[in-house]
Amino acid sequence: MIKRIWHGWTTHENADKYETLLKEEIFPGIVAKSIAGYRDIQLLRRPHDDEVEFITIMTFDSWNSVKEFVGEDLSVSYVPAKAKEVLSRYDDRSQHYEVREHLSY
């Protein structure tokens, strides 16, 4: 299993707008791609003094699933144009981690 992690930041004024965009358009658009091996996406949000940080964590079954999502360059960020309009800055590259252990209690 692969976790794909990405960071983006907005102003405080754009934070709710960005979160709504993710939940109502971007995430459903990802699901609509029907990528084999795509499992889920998590959204994390943390306010700072001068900006709001967002982290997305996507789960894929394999590297091939990630490749189906973004193409040959696995670490390229997926940032739709509407998101770029409200983000102040964002990671150009996503980080990937192989899940080596997953415990649930």
How far is the C-alpha of 68 from the C-alpha of 56, rounded, in Å?
18
Alpha carbon dihedral 70, 102, 9, 20, in 10-degree steps, equals 80
81 inside domain:
yes
**pLDDT at residue number 80:** 95
80 inside domain:
yes
Provide the residue range defining the domain that includes 32: 2-98
pLDDT in tens, 36-93: 999 999 999 999 999 999 999 999 999 999 999 999 999 999 999 999 999 999 999 9
Number of structural domains found in the chain: 1
Give me the DSSP letters along 52-66: EEEEEEEEESSHHHH
Question: To the nearest whole percent, how much of the chain has pLDDT over 90?
Answer: 97
Please report the sign of the dihedral spanned by the C-alpha atoms of residue 6, residue 29, residue 74, residue 40.
positive
20 inside domain:
yes
Banded pLDDT at 5 (limits 50, 70, 90): very high
Please count the residues of the chain: 105
Average pLDDT, the chain: 96
103 inside domain:
no
CATH number at residue 83: 3.30.70.100
pLDDT in tens, 10-48: 999 999 999 999 999 999 999 999 999 999 999 999 999
86 inside domain:
yes
- The HSE-up count of residue 98 (CA atoms within 13 Å, CB side) is 4
Of 73, 80, 77, nearest to 94 (Cα)? 77
**pLDDT at residue number 93:** 97
Residue reference for tokens 């967002």 = 54
Of 54, 51, 52, nearest to 41 (Cα)? 54
39 inside domain:
yes
